Each structure stands twice: as structure tokens, then as C-alpha cells.
Amino acid sequence: MTPRKTGILTHTGTFTNDFDLEGCKETVELAASNALAVARRLLTDKERIDSILSMTVFVSASGDFNRHSRIADHASNYFFQELGEKGIGARAAVGVASLPGAAVVEIQIIATVAED
């Protein structure tokens, strides 16, 4: 999922080496929150997200940008806050030339489900 509020992208563009990585924390957390919300909407009333097995963070970045994992750290921290140790699974941070709608980041998760 991308960083959207009420269907509108909150941040667009491309990460460059002079970008303040702390400044993107809210944007990345919003994308992570949206990914988790979509996964939760697929559940029945008796199910819950149990853990994050895998997370891929796609980062729209300039060709010389090399701090993708620092951006993904914000998403990892968000899932840890939401799910504790079970929020930390395998992870990949991938630099791309562009994302849909010119989003700066897109997050994909694979999660396990448990019954309450």
C-alpha cells in the first residue's frame, strides 16, 4: 500500500541522497498502516493478523540513492509497535525508478492469520 489518506497520496516524488530520512517516518508509517488495514479488512470476525511473515518496501529513488533499508526501518518499527516480535519477519527494501501515482513508497506484506 501507498501513503494515502482518504484516497489521496500524501507524498509523491523520489528519494535522493540529500533527503532527510527522519522526515519520511510518518509517510512510511502511513503506508504500513494502510497495508495492515487492508489485510485486516479481509479477515472474518473470528480472525486476526497473527504475524508478518514478509514485508517488501518499494522505494522510489534516484539511481545513486543507497539508503533504502533506512526507509524500511520505519515500516519495521511500525509493525513491531502493532504486533510486537510477531511484527518482524523477513524483509526486503527495493529501489525502483517510479511507483504508481508517483508515490515515494509502497509496502507489501504477507501475514499469518489466527483465530480468536
Residues 6+ apart with CB under 8 A from 47: 113, 114, 115, 116
Q: Which residue has the higher pLDDT, 19 or 53?
A: 53
> With contact defined as beta carbons under 8 Å apart, do 70 and 21 qualify?
yes
Check the CA dihedral 74-79-81-84 and report its sign: negative
User: Can you tell me the distance from the alpha carbon of 69 to that of 71, in angstroms, rounded to the nearest whole number?
Assistant: 5
3-state secondary structure of 43: coil
Phi, psi (deg, nearest 5) at residue 63: -60, -25
Query: Which superfamily, per CATH, for 4-115?
Result: RutC-like (3.30.1330.40)
pLDDT of 30-67, one tens digit each? 999 999 999 999 999 999 999 999 999 999 999 999 99
Domain boundaries, the chain: 4-115
The proportion of the chain whose per-residue pLDDT surpasses 90, expressed as a percent, equals: 94
- pTM recorded for the entire structure: 0.94
Residues in the chain: 116
User: Can you tell me the distance from the alpha carbon of 65 to that of 44, in angstroms, rounded to the nearest whole number?
Assistant: 41
3-state secondary structure of 71: helix
